[in-house]
Structure 1
Amino acid sequence: IRVLDLEPASSPNAGLCAALRLVRLADQPTYEAISYTWGQSVFPERLHIGGSHLPITENLAEALRHFRARSENRTLWADSVCINQQDNNEKSHQVGMMADIYKIARNVLVWL
């Protein structure tokens, strides 16, 4: 699966920057899963990943701003970012793994 290494920020209004990396669930990686509502199907916010900008929902952006650390990266899993939403095969496969993804997570963070 992919996990999101969310960069820290001292200001809650700072832009959202992160890196994605692959991990194997069998290796028991350390990450926290975010459970959140997608809200409306509009993507007004941007998550900066490398040189790209990934559109994300306002609700996910608020969750990431709330949960990010002030001084160090925080490793998270959020379905709309960590699963390639343009790849139906990947979505189907990883949706089937979601119980394990949440079970293996160190914490499950809830944002409503």
Structure 2
Amino acid sequence: MPQSQEIRLIDIVPGTAASPLVCYLGYVSLNEQPQYKALSYVWGDASQTLPIQLDGQAFDVTVNLKSALRRLRHPSGPQTYWIDAICINQNDISERNQQVSLMRNIYEEATIVEIWLGAGSPTTTSVLGKIE
């Protein structure tokens, strides 16, 4: 479990749209002012999951999160993110509570917070095109 100001960050390995999603976790201290982005997203149905490769092992994420990871992945360089479902051990209640208490700082310290609602459709594209 991370120490009081430690968080995990995920590095998304570069790839093409068709290549497998490969990611690595690492620990950092918020006191060191690490450079990362944060993702805020709709989890989707937790019972519908797909695997990604995390630290060399299969790791299940929701369908919507896998879609977001594919969209966030860059073809030529790793991308570093804080993503709650991956960076917090959801099965460890003590860790989860400790990390949730840091979420305000995590989002405030991120260089950018990206929002993912899901894959677009012609309707959402049309509606978003009208927002100025």
Which TM class, normalised by the smaller chain length? over 0.9
Q: SS in structure 2 opposite 1:21?
A: strand
1:76 pairs with 2:76: no
Compare relative contact order (CA 8 Å, sep 6+) and give the higher one, 1 or 2: 1
Give the ranges of 4+ consecutive aligned residues of structure 1 lying more than 2 Å apart after TM superposition.
Answer: none
Structure 1 residues 25-84: Cα deviation after superposition (integer angstroms, max 9, x where no partner): 011100000000101112421120222111000110011100111111100110000000
For 1:76 and 1:13, locate their aligned partners in 2 and report how far apart those are by CA, in whole Å.
21
Gaps of 5+ in 2: 1-6, 118-132
Give the structure-1-normalised TM-score: 0.95
Number of residue pairs the alignment of both structures matches = 111
For 1:43 and 1:53, locate their aligned partners in 2 and report how far apart those are by CA, in whole Å.
15
Aligned partner (choices 97, 102, 110) of residue 105 of structure 1: 110
Give the structure-2-normalised TM-score: 0.81
Specify the alignment match of 1:22 in structure 2: 27
For 1:43 and 1:2, locate their aligned partners in 2 and report how far apart those are by CA, in whole Å.
24
Higher mean displacement: 33-42 or 44-53: 44-53
Gaps of 5+ in 1: none
RMSD: 0.9
Question: Computing the radius of gyration over CA atoms, which structure comes out larger, 1 or 2?
Answer: 2
